[in-house]
Amino acid sequence: MKNEKKKCNSNSSKEHGDADAIIYCLECNLYLCNKCETLHSKLVSNHHIFNLDKEKEEIFTGYCKKENHTKLEYFCKTHNELCCGVCIAKIKKEGNGQHFDCDVCIIEDIKDDKISKLKDNIKFLEELSNSIQQSIKDLKSIFEKMNESKEELKLNIQQIFTKIRSEINNREDQLLIEVDKKFEKLFCKEDIVKESEKLPIKIKDSLEKGKIIDTQQKENNDKNNLCSLINDCINIENVVKEINIINENIKNCDGSDEIKFEQNEDIDIDKLIQSIQTFGKINSYEKGKYKSFESSSIIKNDINKLNNIVGWIKEKTNKEVINFEIIFKMTENGYDSKDFHKFCDDKEPTLVLVKTKKDKIFGGFTPLNWKKTNSKSEKKDDSNQTFIFSLDIIKKFDIININKLAIQTERGPCFGACEFQIKSNMKEGVCYANNCCNFLSNNNLELTGGKGESENFETEEIEVYKVILK
């Protein structure tokens, strides 16, 4: 419920007229005005009280917010939220059974885990509060330097085009706009700087609130209070997630990229008028990044997607990812599975990226060889390093099948028992839901966004990279 104006509804409220409530008591389930609050505090001092003047927060009543639902007595581990008996009902209908298929426990069972998580968050916030000021200072410095570099680059372009101004106005404007786009894409935006300035206060407030919650939970183990405690812990977790996102944005703004205007030096400026439409370009030079993805038509050197892939590979292999070498691109190297094997066999470990006609992007990583051996196409991965993933929902799926079936090499790239398979005609593929449960997923159609038992899809592009590990 939102913090709209509430009226006092205690037994003595009639004596106070149409008085506005200033607090809500969870145990009494009452809204109380200032007069009733004074008496209430004398009679009971350990009830859970919410002040109604905090407009930015919602009042936690201990009851499910969904219409016609009941008291919150359970916790859904799958979605990290409190729920009631109606939420976990086996009979699904409108408003019921949203958490029927989830991992659910009673709230008492999750207390220790949430308190442990709370302590971790408190520790994280304490450590971050000590370092964030310097990070913000560095971020501002990077932002200022990038702006200076941008303006210098613009000035250089304007000086070059002065000699031929009458003929190149359109081209000059195009290049200046492209400069802004490049800087906006590669470097930190002004809104990241503004967000970072609010971060210390956000960390401080969350840290103080976390410590208060931690203190309260040690003093009172009442079930209603426990439910509220878990809700408070969840709120802190969500705030920490937001803080992590902002902090990651700060870290990603390292200012290491270099952008230059490239002039065609072999062409005389006086003769340039004849070829003005193709003169110059704005290009970027990344330091220490994976150059192979610059030509990717699937992830287009998207740093966030690339970082997710690199992180997953490092997690599974316990090795550093040195580089990626593109070895196959369907639109350039062929649409038959024989073309795939011609370029990809004996090149392990490999990363497979798939983009469908519906703009779904997914793929898989395996240390295994795509070459067929001993007339067998199925290959197991005893190292458990093979995984599949979606770059639309940013999710990785690990092998859970006891037989550890990882890939099949008979046609195009196929992971598991056709969790997704590229057919002999590599313009086509298929994805099966819950097919033998080779990879950890409630529904493997999360890769393609489909419904039902299976989904056929058309591929727009397939790219395969040899992964260089150390």
Q: What is the pLDDT of residue 356?
A: 93
Look-up of token digits 């390292």: 254
Q: Which two tokens stand for residue 264?
A: 């065609």
Q: Domain range spanning residue 21?
A: 1-59
CA distances 84 to 1, 31, 217, Å, are 16, 23, 22
List all residues 6 or more positions away from 271 whose beta carbon is below 8 Å from its beta carbon: none
Same domain for 328 and 427:
yes
Same domain for 320 and 240:
no
In a domain, 77, yes or no: no
Return the closest-CA partner of residue 350 out of 394, 392, 305, 381. 381
Name the pairing type of β-strands 361-366 and 454-469. Answer: unpaired
In a domain, 343, yes or no: yes
Instruction: Please list, residue by residue across 138-147, b when 16 or more beta carbons sit within 10 angstroms of its beta carbon and e when fewer do.
Output: ebeebbeebe
Q: What is the pLDDT of residue 3?
A: 46
How far does Cα 416 stand from its chain's mean position? 25
In a domain, 67, yes or no: no
List all residues 6 or more positions away from 285 whose beta carbon is below 8 Å from its beta carbon: 257, 258, 259, 260
Integer Cα distance of 214 and 119 in angstroms: 8
Q: Residue 278 burial (CB < 10 Å; 0-12/13-18/19+)? A: exposed
Return the closest-CA partner of residue 17 out of 40, 5, 33, 28. 33
In a domain, 391, yes or no: yes
In a domain, 93, yes or no: no
CA distances 181 to 92, 151, 175, 259, 383, Å, are 49, 14, 10, 11, 43
Q: What is the pLDDT of residue 434?
A: 58
Integer Cα distance of 375 and 29 in angstroms: 71
Q: What is the pLDDT of residue 402?
A: 62
- C-alpha angle with apex 147: 144 to 152, nearest 5 degrees? 125
CA distances 134 to 100, 247, 317, Å, are 47, 12, 33
Same domain for 186 and 235:
yes
Q: Residue 351 burial (CB < 10 Å; 0-12/13-18/19+)? A: buried
List all residues 6 or more positions away from 124 whose beta carbon is below 8 Å from its beta carbon: 240
Same domain for 459 and 356:
yes
Same domain for 217 and 127:
yes
In a domain, 298, yes or no: yes
Same domain for 167 and 36:
no
Q: What is the pLDDT of residue 304?
A: 77
Main-chain phi, psi angles of 207, to 5 degrees? -65, -45
List all residues 6 or more positions away from 444 whose beta carbon is below 8 Å from its beta carbon: 397, 419, 420, 431, 432, 433, 434, 435
In a domain, 119, yes or no: yes
Return the closest-CA partner of residue 372 out of 402, 393, 345, 337. 345
Same domain for 264 and 332:
no
Q: What is the pLDDT of residue 444?
A: 55
Same domain for 218 and 330:
no
How far does Cα 34 stand from its chain's mean position? 45
Main-chain phi, psi angles of 104, to 5 degrees? -115, 145
State how many domains the chain has.
3
Same domain for 382 and 301:
yes
Same domain for 311 and 171:
no
In a domain, 166, yes or no: yes
Q: Which two tokens stand for residue 361?
A: 């992007």
Are 169 and 162 within 8 A, CB to CB? no
Same domain for 461 and 417:
yes
DSSP string, 412-437: S-EETTTTEEE-SBTTEEEEETTSTT
Walk along the chain (470 residues) and give the pLDDT tens digit of each residue: 444 677 888 776 566 667 888 888 877 878 888 888 888 887 887 787 777 765 445 667 788 888 788 889 999 999 999 999 999 988 877 778 888 889 999 999 999 999 999 999 999 998 888 888 888 888 888 888 888 878 887 887 778 777 666 666 777 788 888 888 777 766 566 677 777 788 888 888 888 888 888 887 777 666 667 888 888 889 889 989 988 888 887 777 766 667 777 766 766 666 655 566 555 655 454 444 677 787 788 987 677 788 889 989 999 999 988 889 999 999 999 999 999 999 999 999 999 999 999 999 999 999 999 998 776 788 888 888 999 999 988 888 887 766 778 899 989 999 887 788 999 999 999 887 654 445 544 455 677 776 666 788 999 999 999 999 98
Q: Which two tokens stand for residue 221?
A: 């183990």
Same domain for 169 and 118:
yes
DSSP string, 108-174: HHHHHHHHHHHHHHHHHHHHHHHHHHHHHHHHHHHHHHHHHHHHHHHHHHHHHHHTTHHHHHHHHHH
Return the closest-CA partner of residue 107 out of 3, 217, 244, 229. 229
User: What is the model's pTM?
Assistant: 0.41
